[in-house]
Amino acid sequence: MRARFRILRATTIALASLLIVGALPGHAQDGAGQGDGTLQPGEMIPAGQIPFYHDWAQSPHAKADARAFTNWYEEGEIPEDCARCHSTPGFVDYIGADGSTAGVVDRKAPTGTLITCAACHSETARAITAVTFPSGLRVEGLGSEARCMTCHQGRSSTFDVDDATIGIGDDTVGPELEFINIHYRAAGATLMGTLAGGGYEYASKSYTSQRRHPAPFNTCISCHELHTVAPKVTPCAACHEGVSGRESLALIRKSKADHDGDGDVTEGIAAEIEHLHQRLLAAIQAYGRDIAGTPIVYDAHAYPYFFIDLNGNGTAEEDEAKVPNKYASWTPRLLRAAYNYQFAAKDPGAYAHNAPYVLQLLHDSLTDLPGTDLGGASRP
């Protein structure tokens, strides 16, 4: 009952923030305002009359029961480090649309606001054309997709992994080492490739930069619906045979090279990524058991994702996937591979966002782990 009340409260707060139409410039409705088409701050209009409200309500940005918005209910407020992307007040604060300093969140945000119209629809938000990624690398000259990448960029980079492992031998267990997590839905980092440095990039290798798809489908907002954020499927079908729905997008492939070494060059590029991803986990587990000295398992839904495999069966059981049992036998080599495994795992659209970059990361992680034979697999 308490959980249901919290979700209802979140929806109510979010709806209230949508209805403060002073935050929605240029969206006056008939019969509202003072007769001149202008809405005054604080005026309210029915949700059904808010432009694109029903589209937004179908999006992940409006999912009031999602962990992305409910995680802080016990505390009652969202900390500054998280508020930027998990609340409308935090995002507004971060971009400086509330008059505060841009590029930093100055205060905790209340829970329950979701990501509403007021986050992206302001003059300040519209003026954003550059994004600084966690690596410190900055990409200029972006369009409206800069608003998307302000949050969808992850929270770590190559440099975080290098900083944590400096001075430790590649195969030496560092008691102070902990798993470094890219975070969820870092599509912007995938899209920009080495321009963002979101994946772990091995020093001796070169990496592709921004994904280049023929215009006009080369930005976040040209490939995703603006308010539902669902992929635009119909335009893809014009050039890609066999595309009939969202799931079929994973069947698209242009490369004729065999990236996973299985001899099949007709399967979708998503399958090539998935096969290498599976091989990387197997290699990580072999390394943990044979070299780091502690068996390791992975659970995509339990923080901090990598745990000690207590019974050695290779699967994360319920009693294993708990924080007290987190994996603690990290070596720099294992940490690098695990970081890239998570990078690929947490962007389900990686095959579309920048397949060459993700394939390169997986290839290099596998190559770096001792005893791995990639056979005829081709690195992009």
pLDDT value of residue 375: 87
Give the whole-angstrom CA distance, residue 186 versus residue 193.
Answer: 11
Q: pLDDT grade, residue 71 (50/70/90)? A: very high
Give the whole-angstrom CA distance, residue 159 versus residue 162.
Answer: 5
Q: How does 360-371 read in b/e, with b if 16+ C-beta sit within 10 Å?
A: bbbbbbbebbee
When the pLDDT of each residue in the chain is averaged and rounded to a whole number, the result is: 89
pLDDT value of residue 91: 97
Cβ distance 58 to 72 under 8 Å?
Answer: no
pLDDT value of residue 44: 57
pLDDT value of residue 8: 45
Q: What is the mean pLDDT of residues 53-68?
A: 94
Q: What is the mean pLDDT of residues 53-82?
A: 94
> 84-112, pLDDT tens digit by residue?
999 999 999 999 999 999 999 999 999 98
Whether residue 41 is predicted with pLDDT greater than 80 in this model: the reply is no
Report the percent of the chain where pLDDT is more than 70: 87
pLDDT value of residue 17: 46
Q: What is the mean pLDDT of residues 349-359?
A: 97
Q: pLDDT grade, residue 229 (50/70/90)? A: very high
Cβ distance 288 to 300 under 8 Å?
Answer: no
Q: How does 259-296 read in b/e, with b if 16+ C-beta sit within 10 Å?
A: bbbbeeeebbbbbbbbbbbebbbebbbbbbeebbeebb
Q: pLDDT grade, residue 130 (50/70/90)? A: very high
Pick from 373, 365, 367, 300: nearest CA to 339: 365
Q: What is the mean pLDDT of residues 320-345?
A: 98
Give the whole-angstrom CA distance, residue 167 versus residue 241.
Answer: 51
Structure tokens at 70: 């409910």
Whether residue 154 is predicted with pLDDT greater than 60 in this model: the reply is yes
The residues facing 306 across adjacent strands are: 298
Whether residue 35 is predicted with pLDDT greater than 60 in this model: the reply is no
Weakest-pLDDT range from 17-21, 182-186, 271-275: 17-21
pLDDT value of residue 43: 58
